């Protein structure tokens, strides 16, 4: 191919609020059309041709990834009832194996012996066997029945997040039931294991119903348990820690409601914990005869309350006053002897332990925060299925500390190490440095940035850098460890995470200040972070790259349009880059439920005007863009491949008259979903190729310095 593909232009007019827009690539909305699929194939061929010289680099990076990873490995076994449950991986196999062994045979936590599984292992689900002959394989849920004899699991064979349900007898592997198809993925057993609750999706791919299925019967006989008519709300279903309750969660972006079904009487009607009230969000954790309720009825940053498990009204919520106004409560878990509260404070994550005290008026006594040694880290509560435990499993990591799983004794306040992710290859992790920087946005708001690099990288304005961003839905981009990232750090790169508004890093108001009419704060913050890194000499002005996916891909599209001079390279993954077209169509995914995030441009002319002002597709212009890599998946149902395809076509058209235009590459996984390919080796190869393009377009081909000189 001598030139990149040129998409056919066939303008289609749309008019809203007196504004008529002609969309030349509206025909791409038909993702199953031969012309569209053929166009994606041509773009893939162009990307492959243009990056063929990088294959050696991509292969090197892949082997670097692989050399650091324990390919045969075992998760931390978790005890539940008579069993230790775990997952394990095998070198050369794409997927995990879920299994268990009897506690009676292994009084201590089981481990691999020279790579072999523990003696007496009972395989629950061998995903490799299930995935045989499939281009894509994903598990939505995997649930063991309360009696421990059945496994129900849901599988996606296309990447479209629509799951078929299978139920097997664990001891024999016999398939007992596969009648339920095309579900939303979540599952819950009744206490006797005879009934299975699951969700259905509507034409807009919204989980909107909960159904009950009796094992061994046709799905046509299934019973509708809950039907959610309000298109702003998604539904999900699960069970409580003690298996006593089937929990139905119903939520929009700003409002929630929970319903409980006694798992011992699964034919009963669900009982509402507290009727939904616009703007009030809450979450419930059943334990014993009580409910822990995390809610924002009186406090923006949420608070914790106690209620009887029979609760039917917010009036029954008893405040516990365990957190302050500046602490954002994100969850709570109840155990026999204590409560674990997860929270955010000053841009970081934390866990607060509250001991039970039978003599106290509210049954709770002394509280303390679990202490970790790193100022920049991420911590969360791990898997703790037993309510009687005197310890709690906690998981923490940072940009320089591999994922670490420990048992924390809540009374002695001591840790027992269970497992730390092993980095093979003799890497000295002490050679990497992390810290928190603060940028200043245009309105004076201080924006946190998490930064990591090797200790021989000086802030002299010469280092290449990669700035990661997301900033939507209140999802925080907390620091995480990545063995894959070491391939950049060992080449002298700086990696940074911009904690922009739209996430919840600094509390709930951080999210509120990056949505709806405040959405432009997200990209303003990101550009401010980029400028801070450059102005401080942390990265080179001409060697700064940016990456973001999904809603973070929207961020990438906006900064590519509005600040093209800030970045040498931008990678937009499964990017939400045609948001106005999508949000104007209520039949599409990411529409009605998204109005509380972005605004409703159908009814609100100001929301329409604002979205049109920043939509990447609507604002493509003839200018010198950064080098661009755009990646997507054909079967993605969260952000249709239509969006990046239209954006790339518009970019190619605009760049026709631009001198010295930089490369634009577009690659589609033809058998993948929102997260790309499913097998781990396929995923690593995908990441290796993307990393090779990043390195090439930002710095050329320097090899890693695996043995850096000692600092002076």
The b/e string for 59-90 (b: 16+ C-beta within 10 A; e otherwise) is ebbbebbbebbeebbbbbbbbbeebbbbbbbb
252 included as an active-site residue: no
User: What number of CA atoms fall less than 13 Å from residue 686's CA on the CB side?
Assistant: 20
627 included as an active-site residue: no
For residue 406, what are the β-bridge partners?
A: 394, 417
Type and span of the H or E element at 686: helix 680-698
Taking alpha carbons only, the member of 531, 539, 467, 463 closest to residue 496 is: 467
CA distance 645 to 647: 5
The b/e string for 170-181 (b: 16+ C-beta within 10 A; e otherwise) is beeeeeebebbe
Three-class DSSP category at 510: helix
Taking alpha carbons only, the member of 348, 349, 304 closest to residue 323 is: 304
Catalytic residue among 377, 396, 453, 674: 674
CA distance 334 to 325: 22
Nearest 5 degrees, angle CA 436-CA 380-CA 483? 60
Catalytic residue among 23, 478, 490, 636: 636
CA distance 495 to 489: 7
CA distance 620 to 614: 10
Token duo for residue 265? 């009487």
Catalytic residue among 186, 550, 573, 678: 550
636 included as an active-site residue: yes
* Pairing status of strand 494-498 against strand 465-468: parallel
CA distance 374 to 357: 31
* Pairing status of strand 544-549 against strand 627-633: unpaired
Residues near 174 by beta carbon (within 8 Å), at least 6 away in sequence? 168
Which H, E and C letters describe 12-68, residue by residue?
Answer: EEEEECCEEEEECCHHHHCCCCHHHHHHHHHHHHHHHHHCHHHHHHHHHHHHHHHHH
Q: Which residues are catalytic?
A: 550, 636, 674
């Amino acid at each position: 191919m001598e030139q990149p593909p040129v998409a056919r232009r066939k303008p289609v007019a749309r008019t809203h609020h007196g504004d008529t827009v002609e969309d030349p690539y509206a025909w791409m909305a038909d993702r199953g059309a031969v012309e569209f699929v053929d166009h994606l194939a041509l773009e893939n061929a162009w990307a492959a041709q243009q990056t063929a010289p990088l294959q050696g680099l991509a292969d090197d990076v892949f082997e670097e990834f692989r050399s650091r990873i324990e390919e045969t490995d075992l998760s931390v076994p978790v005890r539940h009832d008579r069993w230790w449950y775990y997952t394990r991986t095998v070198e050369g196999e794409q997927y995990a194996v879920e299994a268990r062994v009897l506690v009676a045979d292994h009084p201590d936590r089981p481990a691999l012996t020279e790579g072999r599984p523990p003696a007496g292992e009972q395989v629950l689900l061998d995903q490799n066997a299930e995935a045989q002959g499939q281009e894509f394989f994903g598990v939505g849920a995997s649930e063991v029945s309360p009696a421990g004899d059945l496994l129900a699991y849901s599988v996606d064979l296309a990447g479209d997040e629509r799951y078929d349900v299978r139920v097997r007898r664990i001891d024999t592997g016999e398939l007992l039931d596969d009648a339920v198809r095309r579900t939303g993925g979540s599952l819950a057993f009744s206490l006797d294991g005879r009934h299975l609750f699951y969700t259905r999706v509507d034409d807009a791919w919204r989980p909107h119903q909960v159904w009950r299925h009796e094992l061994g019967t046709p799905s046509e006989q299934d019973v509708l348990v809950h039907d959610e008519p309000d298109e702003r709300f998604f539904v999900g279903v699960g069970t409580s820690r003690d298996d006593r309750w089937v929990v139905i969660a119903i939520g929009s972006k700003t409002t929630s409601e929970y319903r409980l079904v006694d798992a011992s009487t699964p034919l009963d009607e669900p009982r509402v914990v507290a009727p939904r009230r616009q703007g009030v969000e809450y979450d419930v954790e059943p334990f014993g005869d009580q409910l822990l309720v995390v809610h924002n009825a009186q406090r923006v940053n949420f608070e914790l309350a106690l209620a009887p498990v029979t609760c039917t009204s917010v009036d029954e919520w008893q405040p516990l006053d365990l957190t302050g106004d500046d602490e954002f409560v994100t969850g709570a878990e109840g155990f026999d002897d204590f409560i674990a509260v997860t929270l955010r404070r000053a841009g970081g994550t934390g866990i607060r332990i509250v001991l039970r005290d039978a003599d106290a008026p509210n049954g709770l006594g002394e509280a303390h925060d679990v202490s970790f040694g790193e100022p920049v880290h991420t911590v969360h509560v791990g898997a703790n299925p037993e309510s009687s435990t005197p310890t709690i499993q906690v998981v923490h990591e940072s940009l320089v500390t591999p994922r670490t799983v420990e048992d924390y004794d809540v009374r002695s306040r001591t840790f027992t190490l269970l497992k730390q992710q092993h980095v093979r290859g003799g890497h000295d992790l002490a050679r990497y440095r992390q810290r928190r920087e603060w940028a200043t946005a245009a309105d004076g708001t201080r924006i946190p940035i998490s930064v990591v690099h090797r200790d021989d990288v000086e802030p002299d304005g010469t280092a290449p850098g990669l700035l990661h961003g997301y900033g939507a839905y209140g999802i925080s981009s907390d620091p995480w460890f990545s063995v894959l990232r070491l391939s950049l750090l060992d080449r002298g790169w700086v990696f940074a995470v911009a904690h922009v508004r739209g996430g919840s890093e600094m509390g709930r108001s951080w999210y509120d200040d990056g949505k709806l009419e405040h959405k432009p704060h997200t990209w303003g913050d990101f550009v401010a972070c980029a400028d801070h890194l450059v102005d401080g000499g942390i990265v080179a002005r001409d060697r700064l790259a940016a990456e973001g996916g999904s809603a973070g891909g929207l961020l990438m599209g906006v900064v590519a349009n509005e600040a093209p001079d800030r970045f040498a390279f931008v990678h937009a993954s499964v990017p939400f880059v045609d948001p106005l077209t999508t949000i104007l169509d209520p039949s599409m995914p990411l529409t009605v439920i998204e109005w509380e995030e972005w605004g409703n441009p159908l009814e609100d002319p100001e929301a329409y005007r604002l979205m049109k002002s920043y939509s990447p597709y609507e604002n493509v212009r003839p200018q010198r863009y950064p080098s661009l890599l755009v990646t997507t998946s054909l079967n993605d149902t969260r952000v249709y491949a239509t969006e990046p395809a239209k954006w790339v076509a518009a970019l190619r058209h605009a760049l026709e008259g631009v001198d010295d235009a930089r490369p634009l590459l577009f690659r589609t996984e033809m058998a993948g979903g929102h997260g790309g390919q499913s097998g781990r080796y396929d995923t690593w190869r995908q990441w290796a190729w993307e990393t090779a393009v990043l390195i090439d377009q930002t710095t050329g081909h320097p090899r890693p310095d695996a043995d850096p000189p000692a600092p002076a």
